[in-house]
């Protein structure tokens, strides 16, 4: 594919987290006085020099065992988090379904959150007004739309968040495991919507432990292990590596 078609270019991404150890005040004082203050924290590398391109129209599955860095990688792609080093270039509008309810304010109603979230995802007030009925209809939570979202179940959060995100007409859609919290009918509806987005030539990055679902949706698979990219190939090749 020529470089014009690249919508995400992740170059040599590293993400380090600082893990804090809990110490008593006395320990901290002794450590500081003995000049060992730097040992109070340690660094953990969650993403280790990962590079890849995502092309227009591709659906890539990001797979790997627990703690391998998948969710961190999605947050770096979405811009919610910055890399320690390396760069992420994005072309087009990104919608991320990364954490259920992220970007939702608990004290606001569903209706207010649709406007807030839509605006965060780059929609104008007029676009949100025009899409509002369709957003609510897709989510099927009409009855609760004027209830504060702190009273929503995680499935209700997902319904509204997914619905807002797909209505923003994203070029790139990032989806974390969260589909798991929806009930089966809603999951089916989301999967159909994902098919529609694929058919419309959108680019998707999906994180899931449901390898059969990944085999059905993804063209390509990237396997992360301890933060490193160990496979970037067909989805079948990626799944084989994980299952071997």
Residues that bind ligand ATP (CB under 6 A): 17, 19, 44, 46, 64, 66-72
Tell me if 77 sits within 8 A of 88, measured CB to CB: yes
- Closest separation between CB of residue 233 and ligand ATP, Å? 19
List all residues 6 or more positions away from 240 whose beta carbon is below 8 Å from its beta carbon: none
Residue 186: CB atoms within 10 Å? 19
- Closest separation between CB of residue 63 and ligand ATP, Å? 9
Of the two residues 66 and 244, which places its CB atom closer to ligand ATP in the complex? 66
Q: How far apart are CA 198 and CA 201, in angstroms?
A: 5
If we measure between CA atoms, which residue out of 53, 102, 48, 47 comes closest to residue 80? 102
Of the two residues 138 and 173, which places its CB atom closer to ligand ATP in the complex? 173
Order across the sheet with 228-234: list the strands: 94-97, 172-175, 203-207, 59-63, 220-225, 228-234
- Closest separation between CB of residue 89 and ligand ATP, Å? 21
Of the two residues 24 and 66, which places its CB atom closer to ligand ATP in the complex? 66
| Chain position carrying tokens 């760069």 | 87
- Closest separation between CB of residue 55 and ligand ATP, Å? 23
- Closest separation between CB of residue 217 and ligand ATP, Å? 18
Of the two residues 62 and 128, which places its CB atom closer to ligand ATP in the complex? 62
Per-residue HEC secondary structure of 169-203 comes to CCCEEEECHHHHHCCHHHHHHHHHHHHHHHHCCCE
- Closest separation between CB of residue 77 and ligand ATP, Å? 12
DSSP state of 109: B
Of the two residues 4 and 43, which places its CB atom closer to ligand ATP in the complex? 43
Of the two residues 69 and 83, which places its CB atom closer to ligand ATP in the complex? 69
If we measure between CA atoms, which residue out of 161, 160, 169 comes closest to residue 93? 169
Of the two residues 149 and 158, which places its CB atom closer to ligand ATP in the complex? 158
Where is 241: in which H helix or E strand? helix 235-243
- Closest separation between CB of residue 133 and ligand ATP, Å? 35
| Helical pair 125-139 and 110-120, crossing angle rounded to 10 deg | 130
If we measure between CA atoms, which residue out of 177, 143, 176, 172 comes closest to residue 160? 143
């Amino acid at each position: 594919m020529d470089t014009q078609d690249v919508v995400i270019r992740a170059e040599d991404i590293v993400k380090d987290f600082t893990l804090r150890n809990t110490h008593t005040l006395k320990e901290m004082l002794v450590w500081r006085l003995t000049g060992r203050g730097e040992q109070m924290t340690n660094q953990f590398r969650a993403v280790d020099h990962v590079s890849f391109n995502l092309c227009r129209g591709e659906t890539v599955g990001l797979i790997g065992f627990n703690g391998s860095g998948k969710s961190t990688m999605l947050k770096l792609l979405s811009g919610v988090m910055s890399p320690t080093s390396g760069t992420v270039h994005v072309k087009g509008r990104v919608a991320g379904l990364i954490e259920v309810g992220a970007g939702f304010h608990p004290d606001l109603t569903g209706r207010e959150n649709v406007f807030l979230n839509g605006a965060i995802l780059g929609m104008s007030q007029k676009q949100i007004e025009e899409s509002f009925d369709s957003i609510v209809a897709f989510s099927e939570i009409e009855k609760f739309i004027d209830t504060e979202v702190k009273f929503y179940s995680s499935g209700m959060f997902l319904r509204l968040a997914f619905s807002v995100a797909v209505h923003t007409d994203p070029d790139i859609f990032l989806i974390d495991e969260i589909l798991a919290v929806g009930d089966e009918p809603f999951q089916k509806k989301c999967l159909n919507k994902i098919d529609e987005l694929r058919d419309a030539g959108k680019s998707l990055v999906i994180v899931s432990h449901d390898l059969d679902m990944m085999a059905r949706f993804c063209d390509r698979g990237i396997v992360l292990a301890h933060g490193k990219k160990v496979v970037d190939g067909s989805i079948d090749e990626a799944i084989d590596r994980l299952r071997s």
